[in-house]
């Protein structure tokens, strides 16, 4: 199958790409740093190419989508965590803009071309999230990067729920905790922990964390299925019932409508 994976040049995304390439799939690593993506493609081997995609710039998302000739599976993997209040090119708060709105736009723009499924990487942090549709991008609330991240991952869960309702085969996956570089922009405890060798591969390495994404690419389970670690942050991925707020049909619909309005993209 032809698979596009966002953020596939490092961390869990790279491990996912490596596993899929080893299984014989054709991969496009779509990320902002093309040179890094090309190095990752060379290291992975197989039928793997690199392409530029900046999820923080809707014009760039459109340009990428227009250049796509074929895709069977889209893996929405890229993400940011721990940013101070930062805005994308289009004025979105960065966690929401990259983790959800950029992927929302990309998925909708490729909607007519995706022949098989969409896999979106969520996080257990969504359980602590609260969606503020009246201030999705933190213009009036006191900013908290943790709340911003959790809100963006709750949005991911609701997006998958609505995508499945609209007829696309879609899956949500939680990789659990892993020694990846998603905290590269973080300060405080996360920044400190990132540099501690004794915490390397805690609670699991990236190849182990990638199992949920890899499995979701080929599973025959029903659309809308959510895979999460058996022990919350680590363990064999298993089918997990989403929290009620992560499958609220009214909130999913309202988020979709707002996301379409903000991005200028909608399901074909």
Q: Look at strands 114-121 and 26-31 and give their pairing.
A: unpaired
149 catalytic? Reply is yes
Give the C-alpha distances (Å, rounded to integers) separating 34 from 5, 29, 104, 127.
13, 9, 22, 34
Bridge partners for 104 per DSSP:
none
If you search the block for the tokens 């201030």, which residue do you land on?
A: 135
- From the candidates 149, 171, 185, 226, which is the catalytic residue? 149
CB 205 within 8 A of CB 181: no
Task: Select from 168, 142, 166, 173 the least CA-distant residue to 79.
Answer: 173
User: What is the distance between the alpha carbons of residues 256 and 162, in angstroms, rounded to a whole number?
Assistant: 8
Residue positions annotated with a catalytic role: 149
């Amino acid at each position: 199958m032809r698979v596009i994976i966002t953020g596939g040049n490092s961390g869990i995304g790279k491990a996912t790409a490596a596993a899929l390439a080893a299984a014989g799939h054709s991969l496009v690593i779509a990320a902002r740093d093309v040179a890094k993506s090309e190095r990752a493609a060379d290291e992975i081997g197989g039928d793997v190419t690199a392409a530029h995609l900046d999820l923080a710039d809707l014009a760039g998302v459109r340009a990428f989508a227009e250049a796509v000739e074929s895709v069977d599976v889209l893996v929405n993997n890229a993400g940011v965590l721990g940013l101070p209040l930062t805005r994308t090119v289009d004025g979105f708060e960065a966690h929401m803009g990259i983790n959800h709105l950029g992927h929302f736009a990309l998925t909708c723009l490729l909607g007519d071309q995706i022949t098989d499924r969409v896999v979106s990487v969520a996080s257990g942090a969504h359980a602590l999230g609260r969606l503020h549709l009246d201030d999705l991008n933190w213009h009036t609330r006191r900013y908290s990067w943790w709340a911003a991240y959790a809100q963006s991952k709750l949005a991911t869960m609701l997006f998958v729920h609505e995508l499945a309702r609209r007829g696309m085969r879609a899956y949500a996956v939680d990789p659990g905790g892993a020694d990846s570089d998603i905290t590269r922009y973080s300060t405080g405890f996360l920044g400190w922990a990132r540099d501690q060798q004794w915490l390397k591969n805690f609670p699991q390495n990236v190849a182990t964390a990638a199992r949920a994404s890899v499995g979701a690419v080929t599973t025959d389970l029903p659309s809308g299925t959510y895979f999460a670690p058996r022990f919350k942050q680590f363990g064999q991925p298993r089918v997990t019932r989403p929290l009620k707020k992560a499958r609220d049909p009214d909130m999913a619909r309202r988020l979709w409508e707002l996301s379409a309005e903000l991005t200028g993209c909608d399901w074909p």
